[in-house]
Structure 1
Amino acid sequence: MQRFDAIRPFYDSEINEALHGVANHPMMKAMMNFTFPEVEDQVWKDQLKKTHSIRDFQCNFIYNTIQKVLEKSSEGLTTSGFEKLEKNESYLFISNHRDILLDTTLLNVCLFEHGLVMTASAIGDNLVKKAFLNTLAKLNRNFLVLRGLTPREMLQSSKLLAEYIGHLLLRENRSVWIAQREGRTKDGNDETNPGVLKMIGMGSDEANLMDYFKKLKIVPVSISYEYDPTDVLKMPQLMAEANNEVYIKEKNEDFMTILSGIMGTKKRIHISVGDVLDTEIDQIVAENDNANKQIQALAQTIDDVVLKNYQLWPTNFIAYDILNETDRFAHKYKESEKSLFERRLEMRIGSDNPVTRQGFLSMYANPVVNKLKYQDVI
C-alpha cells in the first residue's frame, strides 16, 4: 500500500492529526466563519479536533459549506438518475468538467443525499501547491494526478494512478470521480479523451480490457451551470489557443479560479448520472475487433450519454441565437433573461473585442450545437 503514498488522500487514522494542524489556519477560519456565521470559533474548532474520519469531516463540515455556497451563489441544485444506482456499490464516475472544485464536490453532495457511496476524486497536483489546499484536498478524499512530468515519469505515474483507481473501486469498494479529459472544458465542447481511458486501463489484469471496464462500472456524468462562474476567466486561454500561442498562467491564477468558481454567480445547476455502461460495452466488443477501436468507441459512448443528459439552460439558447443572429430558440427564454445575459456579456467582455466576444458566446452556445446532433428538436 505504501506505493500509493505520493498520491493518496489521508487514511482515517491520519485525519485527526491533520485537522489539529489546520484548525488555526486563517483559511480554515474563513471557511468555517462562512459556513457557520453564528457560531463562535472555539465551537467549530473543538468539533474539528474531535473528528476522526473523512466521512465525518465531509458530512459535518464540507456538506454544510456547500449548502451555504449553493444558498449564496445559486438558485438551487437539481439531479436526475441517482435513483438508478445501488447503495453500497462503487462506481467509476466519468464526468464532464466545468469547475475545479465544485463539480466533484456537488456530485458527492448528491451521492450523500441519496445514501450512495461517495467518491475519491482525481485532482491535478498543480491545483494544490499551497500547503493548506493540499491538506484540505487530502481531507476531502482527493487523490493527486501528477503534472509536468517527463514522458518516462508520465508513464510510471499513469500506471500508478491506474492501479490506485482500480484498487479503490475493486478492493476498497470506493467510488471514483475523474474528468473525461485533462483540465476543465473551456469552450463548451464536452469530449472524452481516449487517453484518459487508456490510462485507467493500465490498471487492468484482465486479458480483455473491455472486461475490466465492465468490472469498474462506468457511469457517465453530466453537470451544467446556467451561468459559468468562471466564464470570463477561461477567455485568455481560449484566445491564446485560437491564435496558436502557448498560454502561460498567471501566478495564483488557479487559486483565484477556485475562489471564483465557489462564490461566483451560477443560477441553476443540474447533475445527471447515466446508466452503468454494460450492454453498451458488449456491443462495442461485438462491433470492433481491436483494443484501440474499442477505446475510441467507449469514449464516444461516454460522450453520447454526457451530451444527451446535459441540461440546457436559457443562457445556452440565448447565446446560440445571438451568435447565429437568429430567433430559432426564442421560445426557450424570456426577454428579461436575454437582457440579463446581454448585460453580463457587456460587463465581462465589452464590445471592442469581437474575437473574445465570440469565444464567450460559443462557450454557452456549443452545448446546444452538440445537443442538436442527437435531437432535431430540443
Structure 2
Amino acid sequence: MSKFDQIRPFYDSEVNEAICSALHHPMMKALMSFAFPEDENGEWKKQLAKTYSIRDFQIKFIYPAVQKVLEKSSEGLTTSGFEKLEKHTPYLFISNHRDIILDTSLLNVSLYDHGLVMTASAIGDNLVQKSFLHTLSRLNRNFLVQRGLPPRELLESSRLMSEYVNQLILHENRSVWIAQREGRTKDGNDATHPGVLKMLAMGAGDENIMCYFKNLKIVPISISYEYDPTDVLKMPMLMAQANDEVYVKERNEDFNTLLSGIMGQKKRIHIHIGDVLESELDEITEKFDNPNKQIQALAQVLDDAILSSYKLWPTNFIAYDMLNDSSEFADKYTAQEKSLFERRLEMRIDTENKVLRKGILDMYANPVVNKLKYNNAI
C-alpha cells in the first residue's frame, strides 16, 4: 500500500473498475443526462465502460458537463494570463476560493483549452461523505484534505499532504490547485492563511523554504463570479459570527451548497493567472531569516497578487454604493443592472433585516474595498 492511499485520487489502473461500480448510480445518470441531453439511448454508459484513465474521464465526460453548466447557469467564462504558463510544466496554483466544485473545474477546462497540464486539486473530506461523491472526486483527480482532526493527527495529516504535493509536482509532473485558506470565502474578503503555507513548507525538509517554493513554481490565481450562486447559503454562518455564536452546519448542508454552486445563476465568470513567484521569494529570503516571518511575507505577496488582479463586476460596485449610500461608482453599472441586483436581494433575503442586508452587501462590496488598497487597480 502507498502511504498516500487514504488521500490520493485513483490510479489509472483503478479507473475502469471505479467507473463500472458507479455506472448505475442515480447521480451518475443525472450527471450524464445533464451533460448529454441529446443522448436518449444511454450511449454514455457504453463510452464510460470503455474509459480507463482519469484524463479520458475528465476530457470526455467532465469537460462537456462543465460546458453545459456554463451554458445553463452563466453568461460565459473569460480568462487572462494563461499564455504565461509553459506547456508540460507543473505549477502550484494557490487561489482564492468561491465555489466548492466549479473553481477547480473551470480552471481545468481552461488549462485543457490552452494545452496545459491539468491539476490535482485539494478538496475537504467533509464534501465527499457520500460514497458516490468520493468516487467521483477521485475520478476527477481530487485529493483529500482531512478535516476536524485532533492536533496530533492534524499535524500528521498536514505532513502527509505536503509530501503528496511534493510528489505530484516534483516527481509526477502534475500541477496542483489548493485554496489560499480552508473553506470558501464567506464574506468576500480573500486572504491567504499562513497555515496553508506552513503545511506546504513541511515538504521542504532541510531545504530553504523559499528555495523550495521556487521549485514548486507558485502561481497566484484570482477567480470571480458576477453573482455568487451560494450567497444566501453563506448568511447563516455570517449571522452566527455576528452574534458571537457557534455555527453548526445542518445535515446535508455541504451537499446542498455543492449543488447550488453548480446550478445557481452566476452571470459572468473570470479567472486570472498571475505571474510565477520568483523574485518575490528572493526578496523575502533577503529580508527575513525567521521562517514564520517568511511565511507571513509570502501570504502578503499572494494576497497582493490575488486582490490586485481580481476582476470586479457591476454587482460589486452596486453593493459598495448601496452599502455606503453613495454613487461613487455609478459609472461602473447601469440603472438596469442596479435594479436587477436589488430585485435579486429582495427575492433572496428579508431586506428589512439590517444585519442580513449588510452581510450580503458586504460579501459583494468587500472585493472593491480590498482593491481600493492598490493604486490604480480599479
When the two structures are superposed, what TM-score results if normalisation uses the length of structure 2? 0.99
Partner of residue 197, structure 1:
197
Q: Closer, same or farther in 2 for the Cα pair 1:12/1:69, shift >3 Å?
A: same
Q: Which structure 2 residues correspond to residues 263-342 of structure 1 after superposition, within 5 A?
A: 263-342=263-342
Deviation, structure 1 residue 286: 1.2
Asked if the contact 1:33–1:41 (Cα under 8 Å) also holds between the matched residues in 2, the reply is no
* Aligned residue type for 1:139: L
> Separation in 1 of the partners of 2:290 and 2:377?
36
| Percent of aligned pairs with the same amino acid | 71
Question: How many Å apart are 1:41 and its aligned residue?
Answer: 4.5
Letter in structure 2 aligned against 1:78: T
Contact 1:317–1:329 under 8 Å retained in 2: yes
How much is the aligned-residue C-alpha RMSD, in angstroms?
Answer: 0.9
Work out whether 1:368 is the aligned partner of 2:378: no
Helix, strand or coil: the match of 2:323? Answer: helix
- 2:146 is matched with 146
How many equivalent residue pairs? 378
Amino acid at match of 2:112: F
Partner of residue 155, structure 2: 155
Deviation at 1:290, TM superposition (A): 1.1
Instruction: Name the counterpart of 1:248.
Output: 248
Deviation per residue, 1:293-330 (Å, 9 max, x gap): 11000000000000111000000000000000000000
Distance 2:233 2:246 in 1: 16
Gaps of 5+ in 2: none
Q: Which residue of 2 aligns with 1:92?
A: 92
Partner SS, residue 29 of structure 1? helix
SS at match of 2:328: coil
Aligned to 2:234: 234
Tell me how far 1:42 sits from its aligned partner.
3.1
2:6 partner SS: coil
* 1:57 counterpart SS class: helix
Secondary structure of the structure 2 residue equivalent to 1:304: helix
Structure 1 residue 159 displacement after superposition: 0.3
Looking at structure 1, the residues matched to 121 and 246 of structure 2 have their Cα atoms a distance apart, in angstroms, of 28
1:377 Cα deviation from its structure 2 partner:
6.6
Query: The residue matched to 2:42 in structure 1 has which SS?
Result: helix
> Could you say which residue in structure 2 is the equivalent of 1:15?
15
| Aligned residue number for residue 350 of structure 1 | 350
Q: Cα distance, 1:206 vs. partner?
A: 4.0
Structure 2 partner of 1:261: 261
- 1:216 corresponds to which residue? 216
Compared CA separation, residues 377 and 204, structure 1 to 2 (3 A): closer
Task: Quote the Cα distance in structure 1 between the aligned partners of 2:243 and 2:166.
Answer: 40
Contact 2:350 2:356 in 1 (8 A): no
Q: Partners of 1:215 and 1:41 in 2: how far apart?
A: 49
Query: What letter is aligned with 1:12?
Result: D
- TM-score (norm: length of structure 1): 0.99
Structure 2 counterpart of 1:101: 101
Gap change, CA 1:206 and 1:90, over 3 Å in 2: farther
Q: Match for residue 177 of structure 2?
A: 177
Per mean C-alpha deviation after superposition, the further-off stretch among 367-376 and 8-17 is 367-376
Distance, in Å, in 2 between the alignment partners of 1:377 and 1:275 is 16
Letter in 2 for 1:213: F
CA–CA distance in structure 2, aligned partners of residues 40 and 7 of structure 1: 36
2:353 and 2:41 map into 1 onto residues whose CA distance is 47
Write the letter of the residue equivalent to 2:305.
Answer: V
C-alpha distance after superposition, 1:312-349 (max 9, x if no partner): 00000000000000000000000000000000111111
DSSP-derived class of the 2:143 partner? strand
- Mapped partners of 1:212, 1:268: distance in 2: 36
Contact 2:218–2:277, Cα closer than 8 Å, also in 1: yes
* 1:288, distance to aligned residue in structure 2 (A): 1.5
Amino acid at match of 1:235: M
Letter aligned with residue 13 of structure 1: S
Letter in 1 for 2:58: Q
Runs of 4+ residues over 4 Å off in structure 1: none
1:3 partner SS: coil
